[in-house]
Amino acid sequence: MSMLEGKVAIVTGSGRGIGREVALQLAGLGASVVVNDLDEGPANEVVAEIKENGGEAVACPGSVTEPGFAARFVGTAIDTYGDLHIIINNAGYTWDAVIQRMTEEQFDAMIDVHLKAPWRILKEAAEFIRVKSKQEVHDGVTIVRNVVNISSISGTRGNAGQTNYSSAKSAVVGLSKTLAKEWGRYNVSVNSVAFGFIETRLTEATDEKKIIEIEGKQIPVGVPVENVAASKMMIPMGRAGRPSEAAGAVVALCLPMSDYISGQMVEVTGGL
């Protein structure tokens, strides 16, 4: 029997990068997964890959910041699979500038996607979890649910050019620690994982100007080659992390042997 068989998971931003690896790993351990991405194509591709490997998944594409998304996302899990056990708030991006050049639009965008969107999803799930947990206790059944909110060492340590992103990611840690205290009585463990330098499309080493479009905004991505080399030299393990390794830390906090870990922030940095 797989460790997560019978569990239902929702993962934001799981069409690409770290989120994709989280979805694949959860499914590989037996969980049914609701896959989300801003774009329908990547979400459907991950669902197809999970099903090809014998797993169960359904897509729920769309922006985590759009009105009504939280209800649609949580509702997809409950309507499709009848339950909800694992919530992974992973979706996000960076939009950098030093403070004197940063606009309020840039600041608000980071707060909305990295802090407010996870808060909305958790709030939407709250009543279902409360009622379900009380029924399980009444029935003499103990089922632990797990929440992992993704932070960053930019939030735990700060990073130049990211007052917006760092502020949001720091707040994610506070959100997680507080919710651990509120939801402990419902047998829910709530933790955050703060990533260091992980290889994704947002951190690709490049000296070319690369742009992605997010909700009509032109967002520069990639890191200058020289900066990437300098960053790797500071990491004791001598390299950036792989998405699968980053995902592994998230999934580890959803396994039964981690059920009593709650209210913690784990940094995944290769020893930085």
159 within some domain: yes
Q: Is 81 a catalytic residue?
A: no
- Pick the catalytic residue from 81, 93, 165, 186: 165
Query: What average pLDDT is seen over the chain?
Result: 94
Encode pLDDT of 10-59 as tens digits: 999 999 999 999 999 999 999 999 999 999 999 999 999 999 999 999 99
Would you say residue 76 lies in a domain?
Answer: yes
Q: What's the rounded Cα separation, in Å, for the pair 61 and 48?
A: 14
User: What radius of gyration, in Å, describes the C-alpha atoms of the chain?
Assistant: 18
pLDDT at 216: 76
Amino acid in the structure at residue 242: R
Indicate whether 171 pLDDT > 70: yes
User: Residue 140 and residue 36: Cα distance in Å, rounded?
Assistant: 34
d(CA 199, CA 68): 32
DSSP 72-109: HHHHHHHHHHS---EEEE---------TTT--HHHHHH
CB distance 26 to 56 below 8 Å: no
The DSSP code for 151 is E
Domain with 257, as residue range(s), is: 8-198+242-268
Q: What is the pLDDT of residues 105-164, one digit of tens each?
A: 999 999 999 999 999 999 999 999 999 999 999 999 999 999 999 999 999 999 999 999
Q: Give the CATH number of the domain where residue 65 resides.
A: 3.40.50.720
Global model pTM greater than 0.85: yes
What token pair was written down for 246?
Answer: 């980053």
In a domain, 226, yes or no: no
In a domain, 259, yes or no: yes
User: How far, in Å, CA of 186 to CA of 184, rounded?
Assistant: 5
- Report pLDDT digits (tens) over 177-236: 999 999 999 999 999 999 999 988 777 666 677 777 787 787 777 677 777 677 888 899
Number of domains the chain contains:
1
Share of the chain above pLDDT 70, in %: 97
On whether residue 173 sits in a domain, the answer given is yes
